[in-house]
Amino acid sequence: MKFEVTILGSSSATPIFNRNPSSQALNINDHLYLVDCGEGTQQQMLRFDVKPSRIDHIFISHLHGDHYLGLVGLLSSMHLNGRTKPLKMFCPQQLKEIIDIQLEYSETTLQFDIDYYFTNPVQPETILDNQDVMVESVPLDHRIACTGFLFRQKKRLRKLIKEKVAEFNIPVEYYSAIKKGADYTAPDGTVYKNVDITLNPETPKTYAYCSDTQYNENYFKQISNADMLYHEATFMHSMLSRAKITHHTTALQAAEIALITNAKRLLIGHFSARYKTLNELLDEALKVFPETELALEGKTFVIGED
């Protein structure tokens, strides 16, 4: 089961020092999910070979420009490149108005439908449930309404042991039932226990995406035990007063959150333009949570990988 995230943008507020505003491409079983879409996302997708035609779901955390200003351009390119299949958009309700007015004044009628699912910034909700993943919104504490997103892999079927299937001449028509946990009874009455002819599926993994927020324990329980936690870390802890004013988190606080919520790995991102290099932020977080990495653009992280 493929479950990995490619970082397209990791800067806060503005593009600077070769860093772009927030955007990530999540690959779940070869289906792409775009999480936030800051300015320059299209260029980053070209640069890192993320194909827009494979994106059917877009998640926008909130309406500060560094998280959505690349969206109208992306939608326009999808239209110009002949997209006709629907696109699912999970976002604040006001985003529809922003997109509609852009399309209206450019006299553009998209060739594809956008199916909107409006997020609730106060109450956690399951906003997507398909064969691969279940996605919950995570209310955060930012200056404006903002939600993170929690991606939970679906449990897969058991895996057939090919050598055993061949050895016992198990017909193909029994495969589906066996994968679901059934034993197999051969024509001579011999019963082959499921545990002897299958392997356990991989344990489902979780990815928690916490975009802009200040430290607030209200969302900790929901993101607990994540295999990978992405958390904003806009400032060093020496800038805590600035972080509080702007409703952001420090690298130290992000590490504390990972420790408290029992995350297995932590990615920090959304770095302030004041930092030309990022080693200081990483070092600050590592002192609290050793399994911390920088959300570097172009890097792909396998979720659940030790």
Closest of 155, 129, 140 to residue 222, by C-alpha: 140
What does the alpha-carbon distance between residue 32 and residue 62 come to, in Å, rounded to a whole number?
20
The Cβ-side half-sphere exposure at 151, using a 13 Å CA radius, reads 29
Between CA 84 and CA 177 the distance in angstroms is 37
Please give the backbone phi and psi of residue 30, each rounded to the nearest 5 degrees, phi first: 70, 15
Euclidean distance between CA atoms 215 and 123, whole angstroms: 18
Buried-exposed string 246-267: b where 16+ CB fall within 10 A, e elsewhere: bbbbbbbbbbbbbeebebbbbb
The answer to whether 145 and 62 are in contact (CB under 8 A) is yes
Structure tokens at 176: 């589906």
Instruction: Give residue 28's region: left, alpha or beta (phi > 0; psi -120 to 50).
Output: beta
Is 100 known to be catalytic?
Answer: no
What token pair was written down for 148? 């993170």
Catalytic residue, from 36, 56, 66, 100: name it: 66
Distance CA 263, CA 207 (A): 10
Alpha-carbon distances, residue 23 vs 10, 84, 193, 299 (angstroms): 7, 24, 47, 12
CA pair distance 185, 191, nearest whole angstrom: 4
- Which residues are annotated as catalytic? 66
